[in-house]
Structure 1
Amino acid sequence: MPSAHLDPLRREIEQRKVAPAPAPWQLKAQLTIAGLLEVGFDDDNELLLVASSSGRSVIDCQSGAKVARDRTDNLGSDRHLQTRGIGPLQERVIRMSGINGGGLPLATADGWMVEDITLAWPEQHLLLIEPGSWLHGARYNRPALFHKLAVELEVRAFGFSYTGLSLVIATAGELLVYGRCAKTLEI
């Protein structure tokens, strides 16, 4: 039985309209990718490896540009959820997140967080929480400041790059990429 004390939060999430991420985040790319399986960030930059049923791509999350494409049969990760990159990531091993498990960072060094909340299965409400806020209660006597970025049925991955400058939502058929400048990163 759900906890009654969370009912106000559930209602607020349900009633909140879906909207793009707020400043300093900017939508860099919205790509249709049929059969999207997994995504994974390089450790040191904003390059995202995307594996789908038709091959692999590398997306530069700061520009939104596709910088490499490979139509190989090697589509996804191994049992450790890792795969060798392509193009500019060719010499790198990338940790993947998607249909087989894994995960992207859920918070940035300067306090942005994401939450994937299921209010009524199978709908997943994807939330971006602002720094200094906490979804499940006031922190520092401040209300929860959050934004509903999407309501999805088949989320493959949702989270940040390791640098905290990119944010992605990967579903079975679409990839949304948000980015921000390094100068907005305050620690």
Structure 2
Amino acid sequence: MLTEYQQLLRERFLSAPVTAPPAPWRPVSARAIAIGGLVGIGFAEAPAEAPVEANADANADANADANVEAPAGRDVVMVVSHDGHGLFDATTGARIARDHEPDADSAYPADADLTCPGLGPVAGQPVPIAGLFGGGLHTTAEGGWMVDVVSPEWPHDRVILSTGAGAYGGTLGETWWHVFDADYSELRAAGFSPSGRTLAVATSSDLTLWTRTPPSVS
């Protein structure tokens, strides 16, 4: 049985409509990136050297998007699914590299550190993956931002972005925002990149990204 306080919290989150995150956050794309059979996601930062073509990595050459350059110095997000691995620019949503047939022993984050080998501009770099196999993304970011996952309608999860007094003591639309309702698919991971520049929500069927990197940054 729920306590009075727990019931108030449940009603608080149930009554909150889904809204866009406030500035400086902006959506990376007009809609979620569809990825069937998504297992997990992880972040890396593209090397700061001069950009190289994403398909320069021999392992991803046959399956990479053509004419897409690595976003030097920016967040990239790696997606692991039952159909292989993909790498996306976390600022634009563009797919940088694709590997439909990764090595069987590294296709899933089943090692002790829950990592998969990177591809494209982060080839050879182990990328921690959060999702079906465990692990998690950062729940706090510079500037006082926080992410919580609440389940007032279990098994459906809701993602709450907050700052200041937060989701439990602040005001809806001022210190906290209900930014995602996983009422159609199973939540895999939600949180920030290590840099704090990207907010991601991954479900078993898609990936939603927000960034606070200005659009003009290249």
Question: Above 0.5 in TM-score?
Answer: yes
Among 117, 124, 149, the residue aligned to 1:84:
117
Name the SS for the 2:141 alignment partner. Answer: coil
Shift of 1:145: 1.8
Q: Is the 8 A contact 2:160 2:167 kept in 1?
A: no
- Alpha-carbon distance between aligned partners in 2 of 1:58 and 1:92, rounded to the nearest angstrom: 13
| Alignment partner of 1:53 is 2:55 | no
Shift of 1:43: 5.7
Shift of 1:63: 1.5
Q: Could you tell me the percent identity over the aligned residues?
A: 29
| Alignment partner of 1:13 is 2:13 | yes
| Alignment partner of 1:70 is 2:102 | no
Provide Cα deviations, 1:13-32, integer angstroms capped at 9, x if missing partner: 11111122221111103211
Deviating more after overlay: 118-127 vs 160-169:
118-127
- Alpha-carbon distance between aligned partners in 2 of 1:9 and 1:78, rounded to the nearest angstrom: 36
Shift of 1:83: 1.3
The normalised TM-score by structure 1 is: 0.87
- Where structure 1 has 5 or more consecutive residues not aligned to the other structure, the ranges are 183-187
1:37 is aligned with what amino acid?
A: V
| Alignment partner of 1:105 is 2:107 | no
Bigger helix fraction: 2
2:33 is aligned with what amino acid?
A: L
| Alignment partner of 1:136 is 2:168 | yes
The aligned length equals 178
1:35 is aligned with what amino acid?
A: G
Provide Cα deviations, 1:47-67, integer angstroms capped at 9, x if missing partner: 111011111111111121111
CA RMSD of superposed structures (Å): 1.9
Partner of 1:185: none
2:115 is aligned with what amino acid?
A: Q
| Alignment partner of 1:169 is 2:201 | yes
1:23 is aligned with what amino acid?
A: A
| Correspondences of 1:7-46 after superposition (within 5 Å) | 7-29=7-29, 30-42=32-44, 45-46=74-75
Partner of 1:123: 156
Partner of 2:180: 150
- Alpha-carbon distance between aligned partners in 1 of 2:166 and 2:18, rounded to the nearest angstrom: 19
Q: Is the 8 A contact 2:139 2:191 kept in 1?
A: yes
1:49 is aligned with what amino acid?
A: M
1:159 is aligned with what amino acid?
A: G
1:93 is aligned with what amino acid?
A: P
- Alpha-carbon distance between aligned partners in 2 of 1:173 and 1:26, rounded to the nearest angstrom: 21
- Alpha-carbon distance between aligned partners in 1 of 2:147 and 2:5, rounded to the nearest angstrom: 22
Name the SS for the 2:10 alignment partner. Answer: helix
- Alpha-carbon distance between aligned partners in 1 of 2:3 and 2:115, rounded to the nearest angstrom: 38
The normalised TM-score by structure 2 is: 0.76
Provide Cα deviations, 1:126-173, integer angstroms capped at 9, x if missing partner: 1111x21222235xxx78721111221411110000000001110000
Bigger strand fraction: 1
